[in-house]
C-alpha cells in the first residue's frame, strides 16, 4: 500500500524513458521465466506503514527482471493536489528494473519477500501481456482508493483474472471478524496523529466486518492468502505459490505512538478544561476562552467532515458519526460565546449538543461506528462542558 518517495518516483520515470524505451510487450516469456508477488514490510512514513505489494517478472533468457508497481503518484496530472483532496487520487503503474526497488528497501531497512507463482506458461504470458498493456502511457493511470483499489488489490485482481476458475481461494488466513478500520488500526498505532486524523475523517463504511477478499487491501494479507491458496493444474490441486524467497531479512518496524502523542495532549487539555469547568461551577462564572477554543476547534473539524462527506469522492468519507462531537455549526456559535451577554437560545443548543454526546457511547458500543481511544478524554470534557453551559446560559 506504500508509495515511493517523490525523488525516487522521478528516478523511476527517468529510468522508464531511458533504459526501457524499447517496448517489450511483443515478447513471449521463456519457459524459464517467473512471475512473483513482492511484499515489502512497513516503512517509517505514514504512507509506508501498511507495507507494499508489487509484481516481479523475471526471465533470464530475455534478460528481463522488472518490477510492476501500482503505487506511484501520477505527478504528470496538472491538478494532482486538487484532485487528491477531492478524492480523485490518480496513481499510475510504473515499470522499472527490480534492483532499483530492492536497493530502495535496503536503504530503508524494510524486509522483502518474494512468492513465485505456480503458473502455466500460457498464464505467465497472459500475466505479462496484461502488465505490459497496463504499463502503456495511455493505460498506466488509475483512480486510487486506499481500501478498495490500491497496490495490493491490483495484483490480487490480476491473479484472479489470469487464473480464472483454476484459482482455489482459501480464506483460512482470516482468524478474526475485523472491520476495515480495525485492520487499519492494527497497522498504524492508534495513538499517532496520522491515525487520529484518518479515524476522524472517515465514516462508518470502514466499520462493517470485512470479507476475506476485502482483507486483501493490506499487503500482509495478500501474502497470507497466496500462501494458503491453491491452483488447479492437470485436474490436480497444487499450491498457488511455488516457492517463497526472503530477499531482505530486516526486523519489521514497529508502529509506535508519537512522543507528544494525541492521547497525552488531549488528556492534558481535557483535565485543564475539567478543572476550569469545576472552578466556573463554584464561582458561577464562565471562562469564555475555553468555550471559544472548544467550539471553534470542533466546528472546524465538523466543516472538514461535511466537506469530505458531501463534496468529495472519497468512498469511505460518508456517514461519518464523528459529526456528533465535531459539529460544523459550533464554528459560528464560538463567536457568540465570546460576548458578555449570549443569546438565550444558545443554552438550548448546548442541550442538543449534550444529547449528541450521550449518543456517542451507543454508536460505539453497537459498532455503528468505532471511535479511536485517544479522543475519549475530549468526549468527557465536551459532555461535561455542554452540561454546564446549558445550565449556566439559562440563568
Spell out the per-residue pLDDT of the chain, length 395, in tens.
Answer: 544 444 454 455 445 444 454 455 567 999 999 999 999 999 888 778 899 999 999 999 999 999 999 998 766 666 766 676 677 788 899 999 999 999 999 999 999 999 999 999 999 999 999 999 999 999 999 999 999 999 999 999 999 999 999 999 999 999 999 999 999 999 999 999 999 999 999 999 999 999 999 999 999 999 999 999 999 998 899 999 999 999 999 999 888 888 899 999 999 999 999 999 999 999 999 999 999 999 999 999 999 999 999 999 999 999 999 999 999 999 999 999 998 777 778 999 999 999 999 999 999 999 999 999 999 999 999 999 999 999 888 76
Measured between its terminal Cα atoms, the distance across the chain in Å is 55
Angle at 155 between CA 154 and CA 159, to 5 degrees: 120
Contact assessment for residue 8 and residue 104, using Cβ atoms and an 8 Å cutoff: yes
pLDDT in tens, 25-56: 567 999 999 999 999 999 888 778 899 999 99
Task: Note the pLDDT of residue 6.
Answer: 43
Q: Name which of 157, 19, 6, 21 is nearest 72 in CA terms.
A: 6
- Alpha-carbon distances, residue 277 vs 146, 240, 268, 346, 358 (angstroms): 41, 62, 14, 18, 19
Task: Note the pLDDT of residue 77.
Answer: 66
The neighbour count for residue 315, using CB atoms within 10 Å, is 16
pLDDT in tens, 62-88: 999 999 999 987 666 667 666 766 777
Which of helix, strand or coil describes residue 173?
A: coil
The neighbour count for residue 283, using CB atoms within 10 Å, is 9
Q: Please give the sequence-ordered ranges of beta strands (E in DSSP) within the chain, or none if there are none.
A: 34-40, 52-59, 64-73, 89-97, 112-117, 141-144, 167-168, 230-233, 236-239, 241-248
Contact assessment for residue 166 and residue 231, using Cβ atoms and an 8 Å cutoff: yes
List helix spans (H) across 212-313. 212-215, 219-228, 262-283, 288-310
- Alpha-carbon distances, residue 93 vs 31, 54, 67, 147 (angstroms): 26, 10, 10, 17
Task: Note the pLDDT of residue 5.
Answer: 45
179 vs 215: CA distance, rounded Å: 9
Task: Note the pLDDT of residue 81.
Answer: 60
Task: Note the pLDDT of residue 256.
Answer: 86
Which of helix, strand or coil describes residue 394?
A: coil
What's the full length of the chain, in residues? 395
Contact assessment for residue 230 and residue 236, using Cβ atoms and an 8 Å cutoff: no
Q: Name which of 129, 155, 136, 145 is nearest 69 in CA terms.
A: 155
145 vs 65: CA distance, rounded Å: 28
67 vs 57: CA distance, rounded Å: 7
DSSP state of 197: H
Exposed/middle/buried for residue 292 (C-beta within 10 Å: 0-12, 13-18, 19+): middle
Contact assessment for residue 56 and residue 114, using Cβ atoms and an 8 Å cutoff: yes
Task: Note the pLDDT of residue 89.
Answer: 85
The neighbour count for residue 72, using CB atoms within 10 Å, is 21
25 vs 33: CA distance, rounded Å: 15
* Element spanning 4, H or E: none
Amino acid at each position: 500500500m506504500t508509495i515511493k518517495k517523490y525523488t525516487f518516483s522521478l528516478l523511476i520515470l527517468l529510468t522508464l524513458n531511458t533504459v526501457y524505451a524499447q517496448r517489450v510487450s511483443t515478447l513471449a516469456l521463456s519457459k524459464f521465466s517467473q512471475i512473483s508477488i513482492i511484499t515489502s514490510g512497513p516503512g517509517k512514513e505514514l504512507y509506508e506503514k501498511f507495507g507494499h505489494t508489487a509484481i516481479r517478472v523475471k526471465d533470464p533468457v530475455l534478460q528481463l527482471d522488472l518490477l510492476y508497481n501500482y503505487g506511484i503518484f501520477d505527478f504528470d496530472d496538472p491538478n494532482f493536489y486538487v484532485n487528491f483532496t477531492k478524492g480523485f487520487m490518480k496513481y499510475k503503474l510504473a515499470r522499472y528494473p527490480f534492483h532499483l526497488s530492492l536497493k530502495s528497501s535496503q536503504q530503508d531497512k524494510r524486509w522483502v519477500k518474494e512468492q513465485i507463482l505456480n503458473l502455466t506458461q500460457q498464464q505467465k504470458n497472459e500475466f505479462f501481456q496484461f502488465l505490459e498493456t497496463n504499463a502503456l502511457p495511455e493505460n498506466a493511470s488509475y483512480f486510487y482508493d486506499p481500501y478498495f483499489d490500491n497496490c495490493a488489490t491490483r495484483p490480487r485482481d490480476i491473479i484472479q483474472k489470469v487464473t480464472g476458475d483454476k484459482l482455489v481461494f482459501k480464506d483460512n488466513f482470516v482468524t478474526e471478524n475485523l472491520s476495515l478500520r480495525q485492520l487499519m488500526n492494527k497497522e498504524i498505532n492508534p495513538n499517532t496523529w496520522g491515525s487520529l486524523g484518518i479515524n476522524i475523517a472517515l465514516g462508518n463504511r470502514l466499520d462493517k466486518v470485512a470479507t476475506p477478499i476485502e482483507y486483501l487491501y493490506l499487503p500482509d494479507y495478500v501474502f497470507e492468502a497466496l500462501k494458503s491458496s491453491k491452483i488447479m493444474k492437470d485436474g490436480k490441486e497444487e499450491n498457488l505459490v511455488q516457492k517463497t524467497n526472503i530477499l531482505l531479512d530486516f526486523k519489521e518496524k514497529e508502529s509506535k505512538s508519537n512522543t507528544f502523542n494525541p492521547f497525552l495532549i488531549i488528556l492534558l487539555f481535557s483535565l485543564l478544561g475539567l478543572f476550569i469547568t469545576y472552578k466556573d461551577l463554584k464561582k458561577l462564572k464562565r471562562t469564555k476562552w475555553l468555550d471559544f477554543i472548544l467550539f471553534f476547534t470542533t466546528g472546524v473539524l465538523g466543516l472538514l467532515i461535511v466537506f469530505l462527506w458531501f463534496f468529495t469522492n472519497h468512498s469511505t468519507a460518508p456517514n461519518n458519526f464523528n459529526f456528533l462531537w465535531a459539529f460544523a455549526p459550533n464554528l459560528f456559535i464560538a463567536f457568540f460565546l465570546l460576548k458578555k451577554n449570549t443569546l438565550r437560545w444558545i443554552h438550548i443548543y448546548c442541550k442538543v449538543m449534550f444529547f449528541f454526546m450521550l449518543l456517542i457511547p451507543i454508536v460505539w458500543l453497537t459498532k455503528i461506528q468505532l471511535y479511536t481511544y485517544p479522543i475519549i478524554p475530549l468526549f468527557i470534557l465536551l459532555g461535561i462542558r455542554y452540561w454546564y453551559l446549558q445550565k449556566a446560559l439559562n440563568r
